[in-house]
Structure 1
Amino acid sequence: MNNQTVTYNNTYILGISFISALGGYLFGFDFAVISGALPFLRTEFALNAYWEGFLTGSLALGCIVGCLVAGNIADNKGRKPGLMLAAVIFAISSIGMAFSHNLTIFILMRFAAGIGVGMASMLSPMYIAEVSPPEKRGRNVAINQLTVVIGILVTNLVNYKLADYGENAWRWMFGLGVIPSGLFLLGVLWLPESPRWLIKAGKIDQAKKVLSKIGNAYFVDQTFTKINNSMQGGEEKQSYKAVFAKAIRPAVVLGITLAVFQQLCGINVVFNYTSTIFEAVGANLDRQLFETVAIGVVNLIFTLIAMWQVDKLGRRPLMLIGSLGLSVLYIVLAFLLQSNAHANLVSVFVLLAIATYATSLAPVTWVLISEIFPNNIRGKASSIAIVSLWGAYFVLVFTFPILAEWLGAFGPFYLYAIICLAGFFFVKSKVKETKGQTLEELETSLMGH
């Protein structure tokens, strides 16, 4: 074997990527379960538009806390302890939501679930990016998005089946989250620590041992040298202030803007308020829950397409197609809702919007956030970008029931169309292609601008 060529243990890399990405499944679970449960929760807790929005959005407030906690744990203790803690929080909060007997306890438990979601949403893509070869990194980070959509689809199917179990069906919907949480915890126990974090922490032998499981001796030497060089001058403890240093600021502003855009583009209204949208065109509860399943299936199929294309077409073209496509589809969808079109026609355009998002903004934003920050501050910089993402998600899901009550269910979609058009022009002017480059090469090129 020629020792001057890099070879990878692809099976091992895929295995650890999938286990880390199980955090995404839990994210998908907590994200989707509310859509099937809302019709029951409205009755159980006598929700008005304000409380419906706050209950749905309370997950995002927890996510913000989770990201901040995860940023510190990731930089100080490593990626693995953070993933383990996220799994434990998921399990406890799932049981807590299932046994909630008043609105305050339920919202507190959904907030706690959000802490777990926030930690996993930050740590899983970061971990995968740090253990993946550059030419496979886009696909591997997109595995995290794949497990998110599998979580959404499985949860929607379970919700659909549980809907006939009477007024307490929602308790089962939330309580079943303890099963994937337990599996995730068992999987994380087996994961190695990120070699980039180990080098940063001075654990050189352990880092080389992990790298030797990922690739051959030439890969170990080459990668170790690159990581080590990128760490020079970054050994001191990095504060959040360091993230906004002049040299790093362009990457941070880019990460924050992409994260906020991914949420304010409006698609999560479709995921979280499927029942509200279809109720507006006269669909019954069974049809509303069926639509959540259809959304889950389309989301899964087109996420697989995105995984296949993200390292071929590249990040930038997918973001451009997605933002412009959503803008057009929202205008059509708003018009259909406004004219009280048949549920089947509304369904077609809802599913087209989901397909567009799933191949573009959904996976590519996470890939870019995991790529664009320097090694020595990746934990804190990622947490700031993802805190911004969850802040935008809270604003989106909190305001939708209130806007829908004022403007009708169609009104907000005109606003989301304008945001998507603005996002298109931002991506066109600011986002550079990152496919096929190592994290260290990207650091040099991004810091050079």
Structure 2
Amino acid sequence: MKKNSYFYIVLITLVATLGGLLFGYDTAVISGAEASLQAYFTDNLGLSSLVHGITVSSALIGCIIGGFVSGFFASNFGRKYSLVLAAALFLISALGSAYPEFLFFAKGDPTTALLVTFNIYRIIGGIGVGLASAIAPMYIGEMAPAHIRGTLVSLNQFAIIFGMLVVYFVNWGIAKGQSLEWINDIGWRYMFLSEAIPAFLFLVLLFTVPETPRYLVSKNQDQKAMTILSKIYEKATAKSTMSDIKASFDKNQAKAKLFAFGKTIVVIGILLSVFQQFVGINVALYYAPRIFESMGAAKDASMFQTIIMGLVNVVFTLIAIFTVDKFGRKPLLIIGSVGMTIGMFGVAGMAFSNAIGIGTLIFIIVYTASFMMSWGPVVWVLISEIFPNKIRGQAVAIAVAAQWAANYFISSTYPAMMEFSGGLTYSFYGVMSLLSAIFVWKFVPETKGKSLEELESVLVKKNTDSNIKAS
């Protein structure tokens, strides 16, 4: 790596991580606006709480769609221009969600058609989230040198958490000192509109960064790829890296079928995504105020405890960033799984004994801190690097779509599960945390310090050997 290229690659990474920040911003902005949306739409129109729930979670539908189609866009239009599309969708969603009346409706006159239009704008933003969640870490992983790839991809997770934290403060700042009537009529619009600022910045800055060398090679644009590699590596290293990338592609078939390298590695990627959600993290993030209120905390106190949890998340994500390229992916995941298991079974025990209090808060913080230093960032790192070049776009798309589907399933079933039994609900997440540790120990390969092409040769050989043994 060139002496002066570190700054260059960090700047490129920071631009890409704006996709992660918008990922966090878009998924969390609804937390401040959902009560106002209920007052403005659901209550005024006499609709059910089910309709309100669909409205609050409609962006997740877009996330599943965006994750699923991300492979098509990444493989056919490139990583960079797929992120440009995501940025444009974020911007359209921010403007449309803030003013869904644009062109077709009268302001201040909520109707069912207007509610449908609002949900369409939220789904559009969700598609942007799905695209960015898959392609931003893929872009960083393909640009970053092997020895700092884990750190740089982990920055994307930090940006997601930071985006959530930022929007909590933005929502609070918009609502502070205002009447409830103003918030329910106007304030929620400003909350959605605020996303237009980082979305526009992301869109503009993307035109200053290059396409990834690996995508360029897949499209027979070797000279452009070599130019970019020469900005990152010394001449000899750039040439050898270029040679390795070219060797990983069959010029007659730059893109292979999904299972061309066997099913094992694809299944591992999908299960990493599913376990990341089945351990219950988004229950803790989405329902944190409700969880804290169930402990007896007042509304203001529950929001304060949520901010504390958000700050803990940021701190422990930083720990992962600074250790993922030193300790490796597997050790961090296993340590995190153990911590999550302790945290969730602790919460379950408190729920069974009806001893809800400060102990529950401590166990939740242990749980979320363990996730943020491990499964939060490290899964994105692994997904960006374990798949061979020729199937990376489509394999990442399948894994990310599975992740959003699992997110939707876990988040939507939480209220019903809690009605049945809080203790059993948290025990389920504890069991999933324990199973995640066993899964990583038995099946997940270590990828620290290897180039994407080195990983490909090792993983393909391992898969071939396992197929020979099976036969």
Q: Would you say same fold, with TM above 0.5?
A: yes
Secondary structure at 1:312 match in 2: helix
Of structures 1 and 2, the larger Rg is shown by 2
Secondary structure at 1:310 match in 2: helix
Equivalences for residues 39-188 of structure 1 within 5 A:
39-44=35-40, 45-46=42-43, 50-51=50-51, 53-100=53-100, 101=110, 103-164=115-176, 165=178, 166=180, 167-168=183-184, 169-188=187-206
Distance 1:327 1:265, change over 3 A: same
Contact 2:218 2:254 in 1 (8 A): no
RCO comparison, higher one (Cα < 8 Å, 6+): 1
- Following the alignment from structure 2 to structure 1, what is the Cα–Cα distance between the partners of residues 200 and 225? 28
> Which position in structure 2 is the counterpart of 1:209?
227
Equivalences for residues 231-380 of structure 1 within 5 A:
231=249, 233=250, 235-236=252-253, 238=255, 242-245=257-260, 247-341=261-355, 343-380=357-394
Indicate which of 430, 437, 441 corresponds to 1:424.
437
Deviations 1:22-52 (A, max 9, x none): 1000001012223333344444425866445
- Following the alignment from structure 1 to structure 2, what is the Cα–Cα distance between the partners of residues 234 and 244? 19
> Which position in structure 2 is the counterpart of 1:36?
32
Structure 2 unaligned spans of 5+: 101-109, 463-471
Secondary structure at 1:311 match in 2: helix
> What is the TM-score with the length of structure 2 in the denominator?
0.88
- Following the alignment from structure 1 to structure 2, what is the Cα–Cα distance between the partners of residues 10 and 367? 19
- Following the alignment from structure 1 to structure 2, what is the Cα–Cα distance between the partners of residues 52 and 346? 29
* Residue 216 of structure 2 is aligned to residue 198 of structure 1: yes
- Following the alignment from structure 1 to structure 2, what is the Cα–Cα distance between the partners of residues 185 and 320? 37
> Which position in structure 2 is the counterpart of 1:435?
448
Distance 1:203 1:441, change over 3 A: same
- Following the alignment from structure 2 to structure 1, what is the Cα–Cα distance between the partners of residues 142 and 118? 36
Distance 1:234 1:446, change over 3 A: farther
- Following the alignment from structure 2 to structure 1, what is the Cα–Cα distance between the partners of residues 259 and 3? 37
* Residue 242 of structure 2 is aligned to residue 228 of structure 1: no
Amino acid at match of 1:83: L
Q: How many residues align?
A: 440
- Following the alignment from structure 1 to structure 2, what is the Cα–Cα distance between the partners of residues 228 and 126? 18
Amino acid at match of 1:290: F
Contact 1:80 1:193 in 2 (8 A): yes
Secondary structure at 1:61 match in 2: helix
Amino acid at match of 1:438: S
Shift of 1:171: 2.6
Shift of 1:324: 2.0
Q: Indicate the larger mover: 393-402 or 221-230.
A: 393-402
Amino acid at match of 1:220: A
Secondary structure at 1:243 match in 2: coil
Distance 1:367 1:122, change over 3 A: same
- Following the alignment from structure 1 to structure 2, what is the Cα–Cα distance between the partners of residues 112 and 282? 37
Deviations 1:288-319 (A, max 9, x none): 32233222211111111100000011100111
Amino acid at match of 1:122: A
> Which position in structure 1 is the counterpart of 2:19?
23
> Which position in structure 1 is the counterpart of 2:468?
none
Distance 1:235 1:375, change over 3 A: farther
Contact 1:36 1:289 in 2 (8 A): no
CA RMSD of aligned residues (A): 2.0
Amino acid at match of 1:58: S
Contact 1:57 1:393 in 2 (8 A): no
- Following the alignment from structure 1 to structure 2, what is the Cα–Cα distance between the partners of residues 309 and 263? 23
Contact 1:31 1:272 in 2 (8 A): no
Shift of 1:276: 1.8
Q: Indicate the larger mover: 6-15 or 190-199.
A: 6-15
> Which position in structure 1 is the counterpart of 2:466?
none
Shift of 1:341: 4.3
- Following the alignment from structure 1 to structure 2, what is the Cα–Cα distance between the partners of residues 379 and 235? 18
Amino acid at match of 2:340: L
- Following the alignment from structure 1 to structure 2, what is the Cα–Cα distance between the partners of residues 294 and 188? 33
- Following the alignment from structure 1 to structure 2, what is the Cα–Cα distance between the partners of residues 274 and 338? 19
Matched residues, percent identical? Answer: 41
Secondary structure at 2:326 match in 1: coil
Secondary structure at 2:425 match in 1: helix
Distance 1:359 1:340, change over 3 A: same
Structure 1 unaligned spans of 5+: none
Distance 1:276 1:38, change over 3 A: farther
Q: Indicate the larger mover: 291-300 or 248-257.
A: 291-300
